[in-house]
Amino acid sequence: MPKILIVDDEEGIRMLYSMELQDDGYDVITLPDGNGLIEVIEKECPDCVIMDIKMKEFNGLDLLQQIRKRYYDLPVILNSAYSSFKVDLKSVAADYYVVKSSDLTELKEKLKLALETKIP
């Protein structure tokens, strides 16, 4: 069962995503911000990270750069209420960028693609 790490400072989002993704058969772990993110990745070895960008003390784009330094090929989906961060070149390092919506269809579709990706 693929393990998904959700990093979001909104508790409601963490709960909604956890329920929906668990219903779809994923194993879900969550973090409320970037504190200890690399350690959690190290320990839990998630198959994909779904990460908010605008968090209180953390910027998801900077956290993405930290992830990429150590985990070059770990799938990361940026998930923000704002589409404006797409203009930031740091977002290029994400597998996908999905604007938050109550309809999780696009997020789930991109998650599926990210998990299916294979490069020999």
**Order of strands across the sheet that contains 3-7:** 27-31, 3-7, 48-51, 76-80, 96-99
Q: Are 114 and 96 in contact (CB under 8 A)?
A: yes
**Binding residues among 18-77 for other proteins as defined by CB under 8 A:** 68, 72-73, 75
- 105 is an interface residue for other proteins by CB under 8 A: no
- CB 41 → other proteins: shortest distance, Å? 16
Residues 6+ apart with CB under 8 A from 116: none
- CB 115 → other proteins: shortest distance, Å? 9
- CB 69 → other proteins: shortest distance, Å? 8
* Cross-strand bridge partners of residue 76: 49
Binding residues for other proteins, rule: CB under 8 A, are 68, 72-73, 75, 86-87, 89-90, 92-95, 113-114, 116-120
